[in-house]
Structure 1
């Protein structure tokens, strides 16, 4: 491909604005088309980026079918993920998509079957893989510095759904749109980072899901709407090597803005990583004389991180094969399978094999 690669962005909400900002830093790509159901968002973002009026679509199919669009960045609610994936696969358009892969496992199975018959350049954005500290932790484990991992603790806490915040009924609380609540939104990240950093796979799960705030106000009418998805989830996992993982995620953790962290407890010591400081890891290990432990804070250089937007640009231009550090569609499918298994474990009140 010669010249700049044309990018089409589907969905123009808050997260999309961040993707647009990052794409603006990448040489060799240009946003040429936009799609959203909001005319106001199309006008605002389109004017800011100088996107032509006839390239501002309210139809996903129209944007994906645009011959000047070489690759798609999709940042939409979960209920449209499957349709966008299928349309991009059918038309052969490279896709950079947000997690979770789809709303349900049944949708994920359809997408996987289609993709395996017509593969395209595709990147599923499990964004915490990109952070320098999480990359450092993966290398640390891969190099054997932690020894055998005996157990791990992973949590992802936010507080925007807490009762005192009086958050109205949004799409993330709507089962028809989101599938599950904090489990699919935040729990999907926890599962991905646990398997990614440790290099291990979960083979058994047990779980409890809870809806702490059972009603929220309709933002237009002010009337109460029943919430049928979880806003707290916890689960335990047995990994194939025998390690045990303990996980919790909540939208009701007052004081936690965006706290995603992992503690790895190994034979040789304990490693702690958190989004609260994405350029540090904390390493605790025994003193040589056996008289106690040393806790060391390791500063991680920013260039340890991954740049998914650069990776996507290279894939669109055919200049790079898929880098395994970024999640594939198959890994997105596995993540959806794990989410489904957690729900089954909760409903059955038993341990479920993956």
Structure 2
């Protein structure tokens, strides 16, 4: 089997992690790079031994390179749609960061092109891959919880809270990010809840808030207005009739990177969290006695997914069924749009009404 040649777009902090992980996959090599920074291209190119001719200043040139078998995109949200469109036009397999696009309108355009010319694609909702979340999915699918009645999901970070005086970075810039914590962290909550339960949201009611309305300019220190949310919450109904409660914040002092889900079923309750991705908490009634038992379940070492190995296999024509497809990414974007519309209108919004006919 021939070597899988990867083209990497975007050489920021997250790219370093992808480089490290692809380095562990046999038969895979990063052979082309793209970034707007010539310095980054030089440093990473020299480090990886990428030839000068394949260090690109535009993503279009990298995608059109016939020596690139698959594309990995690690860029801010405002470039997601254009990179997706270019890969669809070129028929190139793509491993892309979430959310699918900056706006719902962009997502509609991408979806229309994709349905005419589908490509192998993984949208990187990375929390699917964690051992605890994978084992939780197995338990739910096995019927261990019985019927799922409701879920609680939260994703909390502290780095935007007032004590840290966080400057105005691109994640607060509406022109680049679209929405704030909703699209960045909320998209993970949406994906994880639907993936673990195997259920889809049909309607929701939401509220967005900007707790810190100004941020200092990183260059001058002058205050800059923040037009995107740094807190979001919503209640959702699933197709099965189950309901969900969701909250996400950049202002949760004490929460470094806390993504939790609790699933409440007829037969018990399951808790999983990034705070310990090797354990689950399982609460269920005692056999024939009043009260409940709380068990700490150690997750088997075999749990967890490797998206980098799976993307290499996807490029070679093998399936990657546990990973988010472009269709999944679009449905996720539709839920994000429903949250935005519900916040603006103060009403329940149907997610199904946002999905185009197949």
Match of 1:98 in 2: 97
Match of 2:286 in 1: 287
TM-score (norm 1): 0.97
Match of 1:111 in 2: 110
SS in 2 for 1:306: coil
Q: Give the CA deviation at 1:50.
A: 1.4
Distance in 2 separating the partners of 1:10 and 1:215: 31
Match of 1:28 in 2: 27
**After the TM superposition, which residues 325-344 of structure 1 pair with which residues of structure 2 at under 5 Å, given as runs?**
325-344=322-341
Distance in 2 separating the partners of 1:336 and 1:302: 33
SS in 2 for 1:42: helix
Distance in 2 separating the partners of 1:183 and 1:114: 26
Q: Give the CA deviation at 1:3.
A: 2.6
Match of 1:64 in 2: 63
Over 3 Å off, 4+ runs? none
**After the TM superposition, which residues 1-354 of structure 1 pair with which residues of structure 2 at under 5 Å, given as runs?**
2-318=1-317, 320-321=318-319, 323-354=320-351
Distance in 2 separating the partners of 1:45 and 1:277: 33
**Count of paired positions:** 351
Point out where structure 2 has 5 or more consecutive residues left out of the alignment.
Answer: 352-358
TM-score (norm 2): 0.96
Per-residue Cα deviation, 1:9-31 (whole angstroms, up to 9, x for no partner):
00111111111110000011100
Q: Give the CA deviation at 1:66.
A: 1.3
SS in 2 for 1:196: helix
Distance in 2 separating the partners of 1:174 and 1:302: 40
Q: Give the CA deviation at 1:67.
A: 1.5
Q: Give the CA deviation at 1:193.
A: 0.4
Q: Give the CA deviation at 1:65.
A: 1.1
Per-residue Cα deviation, 1:132-191 (whole angstroms, up to 9, x for no partner):
111111111111110111111000000111111111111100001100000000000000
Per-residue Cα deviation, 1:233-280 (whole angstroms, up to 9, x for no partner):
010001122211000000000111110010011110110000011111
Q: What is the Cα-based RMSD across aligned positions, in Å?
A: 1.0
SS in 2 for 1:302: coil
SS in 2 for 1:276: helix
Point out where structure 1 has 5 or more consecutive residues left out of the alignment.
Answer: none
Distance in 2 separating the partners of 1:328 and 1:28: 24
Per-residue Cα deviation, 1:165-223 (whole angstroms, up to 9, x for no partner):
11111110000110000000000000000011011111110111000111111112222
Per-residue Cα deviation, 1:319-338 (whole angstroms, up to 9, x for no partner):
x12x2211111110000000
